[in-house]
Amino acid sequence: AQKVTQAQTEISVVEKEDVTLDCVYETRDTTYYLFWYKQPPSGELVFLIRRNSFDEQNEISGRYSWNFQKSTSSFNFTITASQVVDSAVYFCALSEAKRGANSKLTFGKGITLSVRP
């Protein structure tokens, strides 16, 4: 069975601080996808990134960066120079990737990030 653990439940930082959101996953699949979604107060889940288990290269997109380490089953998300607009709940998720797989997303419990001015 698949499982995603986001051990941090709430994080509070001051604007311009860097913050890292941790994600640890469990799966027996050899191919899988990892995701991060952001849920602002409006409720809509906003897609941030999808990584294939074959691709361990880290990714940077503006102030966001992701560190994927298969050896430790982790897919951590770092926000550099945080801003108030980054305040939201962040979810890490996992799905199978093999042909004909069940594409359902297994989500972690989410991390509530508060960025104070």
Partner 1 sequence: KAGVTQTPRYLIKTRGQQVTLSCSPISGHRSVSWYQQTPGQGLQFLFEYFSETQRNKGNFPGRFSGRQFSNSRSEMNVSTLELGDSALYLCASSRDSQKYEQYFGPGTRLTVT
Residues that bind partner 1 (CB under 8 A): 35, 37, 42-47, 50, 91, 93, 95, 99-110
- Which tokens go with 12? 């509070």
CA–CA dist 101, 8 (Å, integer): 30
Closer to partner 1 by CB, 11 or 45: give it.
45
The residues, ordered by sequence, that sit 6+ positions from 99 with a Cβ below 8 Å of its Cβ are: none
DSSP sequence for 69-95: EGGGTEEEEEESS--GGG-EEEEEEEE
Closer to partner 1 by CB, 76 or 95: give it.
95
In the complex, what is the shortest distance from the CB of residue 18 to partner 1, in angstroms, rounded to a whole number? 26
In the complex, what is the shortest distance from the CB of residue 23 to partner 1, in angstroms, rounded to a whole number? 14
In the complex, what is the shortest distance from the CB of residue 63 to partner 1, in angstroms, rounded to a whole number? 20
